[in-house]
Amino acid sequence: MSTTATWTVTGMTCGHCVNAVTEEVSQVPGVTDVEVDLATGGLTVSSEGPVDDGAVRAAVEEAGYEVSGR
């Protein structure tokens, strides 16, 4: 069953940033789709079953940005 969860990311300023976050979060186990809204910082992650919150946050940080909320 597909699950969708959202986080808010701060620090993204351009399309390159969106790509960096999308690429890192796409590598989290179980993730099937990642949508990032540059204007709002919204990060929407679709996955097969619940995705690991810590893994998503770690991926965002790996990309060079911060999760400010969920």
Q: Applying CB under 8 A, which residues contact a second copy?
A: 13-17, 20, 64
Between 18 and 28, CB nearer to a second copy? 18
Q: Measured from the CB of residue 13, what is the shortest distance to a second copy in angstroms?
A: 4
Task: Pull the structure tokens for residue 47.
Answer: 């996955």
Q: Measured from the CB of residue 20, what is the shortest distance to a second copy in angstroms?
A: 7
Between 20 and 34, CB nearer to a second copy? 20
Between 41 and 51, CB nearer to a second copy? 41
Q: Which long-range contacts (CB under 8 A, 24 or more apart) does 27-34 make?
A: 27/59, 28/52, 28/55, 28/56, 28/59, 29/55, 32/2
Q: Helices 53-63 and 15-26, interaxial angle, to 10°?
A: 140
